[in-house]
Structure 1
Amino acid sequence: MLSSNTLGHPAIHARRKRRLSRKALGAALGLCMVVAALTTWLATRTHIVDLGNEQQLSDSGLLQDWAEGAVIVMIRHAERCDSAPGPCLDDPTGITVAGTQAATRVGQGLHTLGLSNADVLSSPKVRTRQTAHFILGQAVPSAAWLESCDNPFADEALARKRPGHNLVLVTHNGCIDHFQRQQRVVGGERESGYASALFVSVDGNGNARILGRLNEPDWQRVLASIGK
């Protein structure tokens, strides 16, 4: 058995302190590595800019890209009948009366931006076709891939973007989510509200860059400021 003198020997205390120091150093280095990895991961994520903010709209370059026909805009359908208390337009699988009004306001906004050089497509679902009709004021061609909200959606969208022509897609939250996943958007920022629009710039090589999102209530206020 060790004597009390041995236990209290300075050399033993020194070894214990060194062991503790090494453990503390290891823990600190481990924490630094975790923080560095998290910082790097966050730096590679894409954040969604709120284009309802006039300064952020200006900084995004959307207006210039739109004028050049270099934009894809993905619009979620308006408020659906089966998940809202308001009266339906007609078909129970379609949108509400309030949804038609929201879609009309979005259409007014898009016409303010200009649709002379835009291609417009809709998902074949009733709610998206109705939304597209109230946005454009007329029937819109539909495409099945706009309701197949799976991994190829982003490639399908980019493949249909013609040079010098903006592309307006009326689709679903799940499809927009898939596009945002491919663009490494932070999980908590991927939800699209009814009739909201995600704007994406596409360069000459087909590379996409998310410019931001414009929510339906902000269209008229923001676009009215453009003409001032």
Structure 2
Amino acid sequence: MTEPRITLVTGANKGLGLQTARSLVAAGHTVYVGARDVERGQEAALAIGARPLLLDVTSDESVAAAAAVIERESGHLDVLVNNAGVGGTPKNAKEITAADLLAVYDTNVFGVVRVMHAFLPLLLAGKQPVVVNVSSGMGSLAVTNDPDRFESSMVFPAFTSSKTALNMLTSQYAKAFPGIRINAVDPGFTATDINGHQGTQTVEEGAEIIVRTAAAVSDDTTGGFFDSHGVVPW
């Protein structure tokens, strides 16, 4: 009998993270629901048959403690979904400050670095390890400059630039760790808290590319950026 894949989804107590965790549990994974709120994390995990894990990606101590839990309980990690993210300030380019960007980057960029740093030993101990970074078409220079794409009409310097930085981190980590399949995905304009539930897709539709990338074990593609239709241009 095949051992279940040990999987961590950050920011998994709601939205895309919760749906991703739910789908991976259904696919046979042992899933840790990473959440910075103990009660919400426990409720979400109980509802989908997963394991709760206290994890605040903005805290080095919290991330280290979470890694210690998985090491103690499972000994390795096969799949990491870096989903935790914030939309940040709606300020325009004239109003935005460096402090505004730092607040967004602390979760969307530095949070991923914290998690990668802490969990790399466990991933390297895993079988056919996979990392999925949940990015956005808003982080693509090509997409946001394409007049035929709705993203080109939106100006949100903090969020967009944080996802562009995440894309480069994906590329760099993929080069540094060829034994781990590391890709970024764009779930599309999905109705979540980040956009005030204005998205045109359901969380089930948005999570599909995350789940597909996380669950694939025969595909050795790494260092790429994908959505449900295929490759997303950088």
TM-score normalised to structure 1 length: 0.35
> Which structure has the greater CA radius of gyration?
1
Structure number with higher relative contact order (C-alpha < 8 Å, ≥ 6 residues apart): 1
Calculate the TM-score normalised by the size of structure 2.
0.34
